[in-house]
Each structure stands twice: as structure tokens, then as C-alpha cells.
Amino acid sequence: EDYEAVTHRLGNLTLVSDEYNKGELQNKLFDEKRPAFASSSYRLNRDKIADYDEWGPDAIEQREGAELVPFILNRWALEPES
């Protein structure tokens, strides 16, 4: 039930190709996806997601609040109009 509440949250999403997602990752458990993340060409997956020991609501909320949101706000900060 807790997982359903965070399924579509930013912290639970990552970049993968559509073909790879459909063929290799979609609907699999984190333990089955982890090796693919560890060898991903995307540094975000390789250096961050693959380092998690487990994936659930707490990890998803942690990733969203402590990693992704600060990164996004810093990387794509909008300058106020003059």
C-alpha cells in the first residue's frame, strides 16, 4: 500500500530507453533491476540508484527530497525577471 502511494513520484523515476524499460526492467523487482542500473550508461543510474541496498517508500522519498529536487533546482534555476 505504501509503495502504491510513491509509484509515480519523482524519486521513483529514472531515465532508461523505452525499449530497455519494456524488455529488461519494467515490472521487475529492484533486486532484478539493480545490475542493469549498475552498468547503465547514465551516471544517475550507475552512481546513485545502483548504490541503494533496497528500494521502497523510504528510499524513494529520500532520493526525491535529498538528491533530485536540490539537483533540479540548482541545475535549472530560473532567474527572476528584471
H helix or E strand, kind and range, residue 36: helix 30-38
Q: Which tens digit of pLDDT belongs to each residue from 12-57?
A: 999 888 877 777 788 888 999 999 899 988 888 899 899 999 999 9
Residue 1, pLDDT > 70, answer: no
Buried b (16+ CB within 10 A) or exposed e, 56-82: ebebbeebbeeebeeeeeeeeeeeeee
